[in-house]
Amino acid sequence: MFVTAIIAAGGRGQRFGGARPKQLLAVGGRPILERSVAAFMAHPAISEVIVALPQELVDDPPEYLRGAGARLRIVAGGARRQDSVANAFRAAAGESEVIVVHDAARPFASGDLITRTIAAAAESGAALAALGARDTVKRIDEAPRHGYRLVSETLPREAIYLAQTPQAFRRDVLRDALALTGDATDEAALAERAGHQVRIVGGEATNIKVTTPEDLPIAEAIARSMDRDGVSRPGTDATERDGLGQAKPARTGRAGTGYDLHRLVAGRPLVIGGVTIPSERGALGHSDADVVCHAVTDAILGAACLGDIGRHFPDSDPRWKDASSLDLLARAVALVAEQGLQVGNVDVTVVLERPKIKEHVGAMRAAVAGAIGIETGCVSIKGKTNEGVDAVGRGEAIAAYAIALVRSR
């Protein structure tokens, strides 16, 4: 399913005040807009991201949007929110089936919430994240009497939900909604007016909207908590939920595994983890056949749902002939970074009968860590034999297994 995400960032934050649009302000050391965009860029279900910005930012976008890759495009916003969304809708790919709309000022939407909203819209046509009211809800008179606000009615809070984003729609539903000319505070309201039913998806208390300066301390606290705990945006989890799926997910990252094997032949250098080890035979391959780097590359790409090393660096491409696998690893890390993810740590097991790699492990760890851009202490490499079993055990081949953990930047 082709899913387009629209980030509504065309406003200037008049309620917030200040010289700069609020979406450019930082919380937890990162701009609000960057956090919002990264959540969708990193999500495996999102095929493209379109950001609607004020014209002056379209002309000179922030660096984190310039380097986000081909999956992200920028369009000019409009005078109203729905005008900005309409501009982005017109720029969406023709094959887009579900379109998700998200406020740029909500920087903490989890990957689980995005997943559930997309699934609900695909099934029901339209869906929005919303939180059930926790306090007793009072309706007041429209006009004050004698200078006082008076309660006109107490509403059953069980029937009151506070709308959030993301909001997701099948393409035809959002097209109908945006064809209406009246003002609305969100797309779900337009979809209702157009005659479509909108399904509720349980929202998240942490998915706050930064609207006024008073919201910043709360946003800072949420950012510190999530960044400290390594909460991941993409994917789903197994958190227990109520009938609406309402819960706060607690996640630590995404794991990927990798495996590589090469035959050992005479006349080739033996490169393991970026280090050339004295040996009568080396690994046969199109590049330098470094099993550690290849397995780690596959693990990192796998954690980000970006395929494998052969997809990005095929052995049919002469560019990668005798290439340094450390360089290929660094390129894979850059691809993952475009999705708003960074590598936390990697663990590798090398299976080789001889020579022993124990004396070289320190240099290997440092080389791999340098290519990834993490501390050496976050890279584990260990050697095992195959006890004489199969081609590896007979000394005819070398293999490596790897696991990598990635998390939101």
pLDDT digits (tens, 9 = 90+) for 8-48: 988 765 556 555 677 888 888 888 999 999 889 888 889 99
- What are residue 200's DSSP bridge partners? 128
Q: At what angle do helices 325-338 and 291-303 cross, to 10 degrees?
A: 10
Q: Is 34 helix (H, G, I), strand (E, B) or coil?
A: helix
Nearest to 253 by CA among 230, 237, 235, 236: 230
User: 45-54, 242-251, 269-278: lowest mean pLDDT where?
Assistant: 242-251
Nearest to 132 by CA among 175, 171, 163: 163
**What are the structural domains, with CATH classification, of the chain?**
3-229 (3.90.550.10), 254-408 (3.30.1330.50)
Residue type, 381: I
Nearest to 99 by CA among 108, 90, 112, 107: 90
What is d(CA 290, CA 330) in angstroms, rounded to the nearest whole number? 14
Average pLDDT over residues 180-206: 92
Q: What is the pTM of this model?
A: 0.57
Strands (E), 267-337: 270-272, 275-277, 281-283
pLDDT in tens, 281-307: 999 998 899 999 999 999 999 999 898
Contacts for 125 with CB less than 8 Å, ≥ 6 apart: 169, 170, 173, 196, 197, 199
**What is the pLDDT, as a whole number, of residue 290?**
95
- Tallying the residues shown for the chain, one arrives at 409
pLDDT in tens, 266-285: 999 999 999 999 999 999 99
Buried b (16+ CB within 10 A) or exposed e, 243-275: ebbbbbbebebbebebebbbebeeebebbbbbb
